[in-house]
Amino acid sequence: MAGFGDFQPLCNIVPSYPWCNLFYSQLWRKAPELLVGESADRESAPVGVNPECGIPRLNFNGSISNVANIAACGASFLFVLTLVILCNRRKAAVGRIELRSFLIVYLLTLPFQILSTGSIFEQGSLVLTILTAIHAGLVTAMFWGLLANGIVATQVVEDGTLSSMIPYTILTILFFGVTTYVSLDIGLGVTELVGGLSTPPEALRNIPLFVLTSIWPAAAAVVYFILMTYIVLHVLKETKPMWFYLLSAILFVLSQLAMFLLSRVLCNASQAKVDGSFIATLLETAAVGVLYLAWKGITEESWDDDYYPN
């Protein structure tokens, strides 16, 4: 039975799960005998730790790496970049700076997703471990940015002012820094205060990383949805934007289901050429796009005067 904070089931069953790179590096340093099957050979090992199915590293036996997800990340990058530009043009819109910041952080996660899950770098290598740690830090910071947008929408603090941006920036840096440190401690054993081997080692247990990369994003997304539901239905008394928020939430949930349930199915069906990560990326990006439409709807001029100060 897997315990709380165990990554072993995820690293074994879910292809292209990025945080497994950290545990591979840890085991390679401390318990290489636990790396078996496809994981035993660093030069060809796919993402994961002893995965049931994984896309081999680039150029091994003709592998073209995780090309489907690389393409999905590239298309998503251009799409989100367009959203950043469009967001920046809405000068008078409430929460513009905070939403733009969220979009920029999501934009940054995409190239790091390519590097950490693309089966490009050798497993256990220094460069892959560092890139994965930065990727993890960006993801947790991104979900703080999402929650912060919900808080700003309540007008507890005035958007775009120092009272909003100072705590926003400080907490973004804290989430990024703490998560990156924990990740590096696992992969490289920087201090091993929070990144030592679990008991037993094959459980790949690390509660801080599990909380930061699994519990925290889910909690932030749920609280954000609750806040926006309250604002749209109770304060603004509108229904159309709520459908956008609901659709965004559904797309996000579907992206997680594609990652955790569909990946292995597609990996086996395609003989380890693709997995569900590209579908997850496209659905997650679609969720962000719909979220932008929802924000655009609640900041239109006909509603601004009813609730939001000029």
Residue 93, pLDDT score: 80
Q: What is the pLDDT of residue 305?
A: 42
Residue 209 within any structural domain of the chain: yes
pLDDT > 60? residue 303: no
pLDDT in the model for residue 309:
41
Residue 2, domain member (yes or no): no
Query: Of the given ranges (38-42, 156-160, 221-225, 239-243), which has the lowest mean pLDDT?
Result: 156-160
Reduce the secondary structure of the chain to three states and give it as a string: CCCCCECHHHHHHCCCCCCHHHHHHHHHHHCHHHCCHHHHCCCCCCCCCCCCCCCCCCCHHHCCCCHHHHHHHHHHHHHHHHHHHHHHHCCCCCCHHHHHHHHHHHHHHHHHHHHHHCCCCCCCCHHHHHHHHHHHHHHHHHHHHHHHHHHHHCCCCCCCCHHHHHHHHHHHHHHHHHHHHHHHHHHHCCCCCCCCCCCCHHHCECHHHHHHHHHHHHHHHHHHHHHHHHHHHHHCCCCHHHHHHHHHHHHHHHHHHHHHHHHHHHHHHCCCCCCCHHHHHHHHHHHHHHHHHHHHHHCCHHHHHHHCCC
Task: Tell me the average pLDDT of the chain.
Answer: 93
Q: Which domain holds residue 170?
A: 8-307
**pLDDT value at residue 138:** 98
* Domain-embedded: residue 3: no
The sign of the torsion formed by the CA atoms of 164, 170, 173, 174 equals: negative
Q: Is residue 1 part of a domain?
A: no
pLDDT of residue 302: 39
Q: What is the pLDDT of residue 307?
A: 41
Q: What is the per-residue pLDDT for 107?
A: 98
pTM of full prediction above 0.85: yes
Q: What is the pLDDT of residue 2?
A: 73
Q: What is the pLDDT of residues 26-64, one digit of tens each?
A: 999 999 999 999 999 999 999 999 999 999 999 888 889
Comparing 18 with 159, the larger pLDDT belongs to: 18
- 120 falls in which pLDDT band (50, 70, 90)? very high
In a domain, 166, yes or no: yes
What is the mean predicted confidence (pLDDT) over 268-274? 95
pLDDT of residue 300: 61
Q: Cα 209 to the chain's mean position, in Å?
A: 13
Q: What is the pLDDT of residues 74-108, one digit of tens each?
A: 999 999 999 999 999 888 788 899 999 999 999 99
Say if residues 222 and 22 touch (Cβ distance below 8 Å).
Answer: no
Within-domain flag for 251: yes
Domain count, the chain: 1
Residue 16 lies in a domain: yes
Cα–Cα distance between 136 and 113 in angstroms, integer? 9
CA dist 286 → 44, 80, 295 (Å): 33, 10, 14
Tell me whether residue 302 is in a domain.
Answer: yes
Length of the chain: 310
Using pLDDT thresholds of 50, 70 and 90, give the confidence band for residue 155: confident
Here the CATH number for the domain that contains residue 161 is 1.20.1070.10
% residues pLDDT > 70 (the chain): 96
